[in-house]
Amino acid sequence: MSLNNIHNGVAEIPVGILYSITGPYGDVNASMVNAAILGLEEANAELDGSFKLKPVFKDCHGKLSTYSKNCERMIYEDGCQHIIGCYTSAARKQILPLLERTNTLLWHSARYEGFEASENVLYLGASPNQHLIPLVRYILAAMVPEIYCVGSNYIWTWESNRLLREQIIEGGGRIIAQRLVTMGDLHIDHIVSEIISLKPPVVFNTLVGEASYRFYRALWRAVSAHPDLEPGDITVVSCSLCEEELPFIGEPASIGHLTSATYFRSLERLENVDFLTRYRERFGDDTAPSVDAESAYVCARILGRSIAASGTDAVSAVRDAAKTFSFEAPEGTVRIDRTTNHSFLTPRLAVSRRGFSFQIIWEAAEPVDPDPFLVWQGEAQARPETEWKAKGSSARARHVVDTEAKES
């Protein structure tokens, strides 16, 4: 155990929490900070005084340059060897060279676009075969696979659109158009007008923050005002929309959208019920975590157990220890792969409904191996009609999507 600081006879280990609670995506990040703090507090309780994990939070305000500065301060001034954080891939890639140069370990909680593997990152968020590929399989099996792509102009969108395009075209569908806006740009009316003109059956949305919320509201108004369209004719699908964002969109514009994720609050699992209760007791009855927040909580809990198991906070020892056990998380069993540093996670599909919640319409039978480089791409490209129909999922899921949208 390295003695970073001694307080009342207990070794304090500083743990960085690196997110943006202000800026274009601050509201979502705030719950990630809360969940990470809750996870560290529970880890400390489980450790029973053998050492204490001390959260060191710094707000990056959604600015890449601030991520670099704050990360440097955490490492050189605060003595952090472990950092939980980074909502966007742009932020993660901004600090990655510094992490590798200083041998600091990032516990990355957010879903991301894949095609990366660093010894200085443990990826607790879903990789593309655990979020994008299940969504593509559903589109090919249960929808008209003609897709209009709209998104913020950064790496998550670029790579997600590339993978979507490859999979959809291989499956016999087509990409109608791709339109991007600068991160933070709120001018999306021209995109909504083009969608109404083209009438695509599916819109794939990778917009971030307020731009995304405005898009959902504007599209709903435009569809509602069009004489030949009704809600449900154009389905918006996403790998990023979460419960926390639905109130910012507002009803009825937030209803009837399809999302792929590994966690939803509506998950009927004892660990999840207990987690939601503890989260609300800690941060207020009107608060609740979404998928990325739940993952930040898992990062903190696995970090605590890994330090306890290794007897030190040294990066190499903690990283090795983290790969030796599984954790029964609110989302299900989570285990870190020894080879890729990514996690075994359970993919799910859900439809947004009234009350700012999601109804799960499908989930994998067990945690899925992480495949960040899609080396099993051939299998993923096959049309899954047989799989869906055998489970009765396709017709039921399509009915839920249409019903939720049209009832709005």
Q: Look at the block and give the residue holding tokens 């099993």.
A: 376
Do 256 and 164 sit in the same domain of this protein? Answer: yes
Q: Taking a C-beta distance cutoff of 8 angstroms, is the pair 400, 258 a contact?
A: no
- Assess contact for 194 and 223: CB atoms under 8 A: no
The pLDDT assigned to 378 comes to 46
The last residue of a domain, from among 344, 362, 387:
344
Give, for 338, the enclosing helix (H) or strand (E): none
Q: How far apart are CA 354 and CA 256, in angstroms?
A: 9
For residues 158 and 200, state if they share a domain.
yes
What 3-state class would DSSP assign to 44?
helix
Q: Note the pLDDT of residue 67.
A: 98
Q: What is the pLDDT of residue 391?
A: 52
The token duo for 159 is 């790579």
Place of tokens 């969109």: 249
| Final residue before a domain boundary, out of 325, 344, 363 | 344
**Could you state, in chain order, the average pLDDT of each consecutive group of 10 residues for the chain (408 residues)?**
56 96 90 98 90 96 96 98 96 98 98 97 97 96 97 96 96 97 92 98 96 97 95 95 95 97 97 98 92 97 97 97 98 97 97 97 94 72 44 54 66
Q: How far apart are CA 326 and CA 63, in angstroms?
A: 35
Question: Is 191 in the same domain as 167?
Answer: yes
CA quadruple 205, 203, 129, 181: dihedral, nearest 10:
-30
Residues 233 and 357 in one domain: yes
Backbone angles phi, psi at 180, to 5 degrees: -120, 150
Query: Do 60 and 108 fall into the same domain?
Result: yes
Whether the CA torsion 133, 139, 140, 146 is positive or negative: it is: negative
Query: Which residue in 351, 153, 159, 329 sits closest to 243, CA to CA?
Result: 351
Q: What is the CA radius of gyration of the chain?
A: 21
- pLDDT of 401 reads 67
Q: Which tokens hold the place of 24?
A: 């274009």
Residue 181: the pLDDT is 96
Structural domain of 400: 129-261+347-406
Q: What is the DSSP letter of 243?
A: G
Whether residues 113 and 222 fall in one domain:
no
Residue ranges in 105-154 assigned as alpha helix (H): 128-142
351 and 340 fall within a common domain = no
Q: How many other C-beta atoms lie within 10 A of the C-beta of residue 226?
A: 13
pLDDT at 162: 97
CA 19 to chain CA mean position, Å: 14
Q: Are residues 112 and 134 in the same domain?
A: no
Predicted local distance difference test score (pLDDT) of residue 66: 97
Give CA–CA dist 371/41, Å, rounded: 32
Residues 120 and 96 reside in one and the same domain? yes
The helix or strand, by DSSP H or E, that contains position 91, with its residue range, turns out to be helix 89-102
Same domain, 228 and 368: yes
pLDDT at residue 27 in the model? 85
Distance CA 103, CA 88 (A): 21
Residue 296 sits in the same domain as residue 392: no
Q: Do 206 and 192 belong to one domain?
A: yes
Domain boundary among 303, 329, 344: 344
For the entire predicted model, the pTM comes to 0.93
Name the residue type at position 391.
Answer: K
Would you tell me how many other CB atoms lie within 10 Å of the CB of residue 319?
A: 19
Backbone phi, then psi, for 374, in 5-degree steps? Answer: 50, 50
Nearest to 263 by CA among 235, 242, 237, 285: 242
- pLDDT number for residue 396: 52
Residue 214: CATH number of its domain:
3.40.50.2300
Count Cα atoms within 13 angstroms, Cβ side, for 338.
4
How many domains does the chain contain in total?
2
Q: Which residues contact 331 (CB under 8 A, 6 or more apart)?
A: 262, 263, 267, 269, 272, 291, 294, 295, 298, 345, 346
